[in-house]
Chains A and B, each alone.
Chain A
Amino acid sequence: MQATAVGTVAITIILLGLFLFVRGALTELGGKLLDQIEVSAYLRSDVTPAQTAAIARFLKQDPHIASAQFVPKKQGLAELRTRTKGAIDTALLTENPLPDKFRIKARDPDGVPAVAASVGRLSGVDNVVYGQKIVQRLLQLGAVLRRIGIGVIVVFFVVAGIIISNTIRLTVYARRREIAIMQLVGATSTYIRLPFICEGLLDGVIGALLAVALLAAARAALWPRLLEALPWAQLTLVPVDVRVLAAQLVVVGAAIGVVGSWISVGRHLRT
């Protein structure tokens, strides 16, 4: 019974830990991506230098635009080469297929669609591309995942609380004579409760420590492989502070234990 209680707390805490970790990473990632949204305005291939200069002037004076950088097709090709790390053999190209473009950053992410629209209307601009939709999808997905995660965790919290409460109730039942006599001779309910609360607390803390140990082991085993599989993760996933997370999880485990045992002893004392 004790093992069941500790185990359930451990499972609950593991779920909570994973959830907090993933949420932290997603928030980080979402924020970074939003910050990085840039609008690429590709120019027509037959654009005149005068048109290009006019566009540059317009971009400079628009208050919604934080920065705009002209990327000539030559530079674009060089960037493509470095980004793909030579996967595309640019030597095979007889001529540069890339158009000139402006790399534009909006002052805030919400203003991106408006900026894109106004830039798209300028003469000489062929089309305007930005990753807003993808980012919004990502954030929406994050929100859905968060809701599901919270639901699952709440269920596990309740289950863990009930199981601890039942475990303690067995102990309470085994010691009911002693409790009755304590009450008879004037022991306060705090005095009677204390040992049971300690037991619940211990169950909770042991379960939480178990969970933290498993999470740490899993992280140690999986993190390098994750970084290997997703090289970009290294840049965007700033790891959540693991020590703070561990401490939070232990506190939560202790809380489950205390609340569970408090309820079961309280129920016994009131009858």
Chain B
Amino acid sequence: MISLRAVSLVYPNGVRALDNINLEIAKGDFVFLVGDSGTGKSSLLRLLYREAKSTAGEISVDGIRVDRLRRNRIAALRRHLGVVFQDFKLLTDKTVWENVAFAMQVTGAHTRDIMRQVPRVLDLVGLSHKSRMYPNELSGGEQQRTAIARALVNNPKLLLCDEPTGNLDPANTSEITALLLRINLKGTTVVVATHNQAVVDRMRRRVVRLDDGRITTDEERGYYYLGLGESQVLSG
């Protein structure tokens, strides 16, 4: 699903955000990207949905060579994946339904498909009963569920989440993580950048750790901190 080979990202101001990243993520995988703030988690995700352009290396997402992607093909790439952020990025003057439907409308979807698809994802995230409410009337967890519904409405094979629980209390956090897991079980590849140790340690999923723009560990059933808990094999 995702393949990065010798990928580097140097921002125009000279900051080396990512350095020689090699990473393979299989279809249907659930992967945590962990690391302190500023270690390149968000930059890595931004490369995948082509918000940033790699300085060197090869990036392939769902068969699309993102590093070589022409500007006018970016929209097509984004339709293959969903992105969720810490700050939800909802339109406050649109209802839950409209926010979700918006993602289909801008791709030129038929009304018939929108009417069928929106209720389906709202049901999946458990917000059917609040579809007429505005983001400001919702809790943080509900807003994030709306954002997840929007990310999923075009049936992407890949869901990228950048600190999805960063603004949420523990109860909402576990609600969102449970939802992400459910989405993953339906076959969607999920990549979550987070520095929420509790979430990572509870889920016991693949954990890729970034330090200063480099991958330092990559464990199949990992913890937030290497070697915490059960016996961990240090692998290079």
Q: Is the CB of A181 within 8 A of B102?
A: yes
Residues of B within 8 A of A184 (CB): 49, 78, 83, 89
Residues of B within 8 A of A188 (CB): 72, 75
Distance A130 CA – B102 CA, assembled complex (angstroms): 77
CB-based closest 10 A-B pairs: A187-B106, A186-B78, A186-B79, A185-B103, A188-B75, A186-B75, A182-B106, A186-B107, A181-B89, A184-B83
Q: How large is the interface on A (under 10, 10 to 19, 20 to 34, 35 or more residues)?
A: 10 to 19
Residues of A within 8 A of B75 (CB): 183, 186-189
Distance A184 CA – B74 CA, assembled complex (angstroms): 9
Q: Is the CB of A186 within 8 A of B83?
A: no
A194 nearest CB across to chain B (Å) = 11
Assuming the contacts A177-B91, A181-B89, asked whether A186 and B72 have C-beta atoms less than 8 A apart, the reply is no
Instruction: Tell me the nearest residue of chain B to A184, going by C-beta.
Output: B83
Instruction: Tell me the nearest residue of chain A to B90, going by C-beta.
Output: A181
B89-114 Cβ-contact flags toward A at 8 Å (1 or 0): 10100000000001100111000000
Instruction: Tell me the nearest residue of chain B to A180, going by C-beta.
Output: B89
- What are 7 A-B pairs at a CB distance below 8 A? A177-B91, A183-B78, A184-B89, A185-B102, A185-B151, A186-B79, A191-B108
B230 nearest CB across to chain A (Å) = 38
Instruction: Tell me the nearest residue of chain A to B49, going by C-beta.
Output: A184
The answer to whether B154 has its CB under 8 Å from any CB of chain A is yes
The answer to whether B150 has its CB under 8 Å from any CB of chain A is yes
The answer to whether B15 has its CB under 8 Å from any CB of chain A is no
Residues of B within 8 A of A181 (CB): 89, 91, 102
Instruction: Tell me the nearest residue of chain A to B99, going by C-beta.
Output: A181
Q: How large is the interface on B (under 10, 10 to 19, 20 to 34, 35 or more residues)?
A: 20 to 34
Instruction: Tell me the nearest residue of chain A to B83, going by C-beta.
Output: A184
Residues of A within 8 A of B78 (CB): 183-186
Residues of B within 8 A of A228 (CB): none
Q: Is the CB of A185 within 8 A of B91?
A: no
Q: Which of A180, A182, A185 contacts B154 (CB 8 A)?
A: A185
Distance A177 CA – B85 CA, assembled complex (angstroms): 13
Which residues of B line the A interface, CB within 8 A? 49, 71-72, 74-79, 83, 89, 91, 102-103, 106-108, 150-151, 154
Residues of B within 8 A of A183 (CB): 74-75, 78
Residues of B within 8 A of A177 (CB): 89, 91
Q: A186-B78, A186-B106 are in contact. List 12 more A-B contacts (CB 8 A).
A: A177-B89, A180-B89, A181-B102, A182-B102, A183-B75, A183-B78, A185-B102, A185-B150, A185-B154, A186-B107, A187-B75, A192-B106
A178 nearest CB across to chain B (Å) = 6
Instruction: Tell me the nearest residue of chain A to B78, going by C-beta.
Output: A186
Q: Which of B49, B72, B103 contacts A189 (CB 8 A)?
A: B72
B204 nearest CB across to chain A (Å) = 30
Residues of B within 8 A of A189 (CB): 71-72, 75
In this complex, which of B78, B79, B106, B107 has the most chain A Cβ atoms within 10 angstroms of its Cβ? B106
Q: Is the CB of A185 within 8 A of B72?
A: no
Distance A232 CA – B106 CA, assembled complex (angstroms): 63
Residues of A within 8 A of B74 (CB): 183
Distance A187 CA – B104 CA, assembled complex (angstroms): 9
B48 nearest CB across to chain A (Å) = 13
A171-211 Cβ-contact flags toward B at 8 Å (1 or 0): 00000011011111111110110000000000000000000
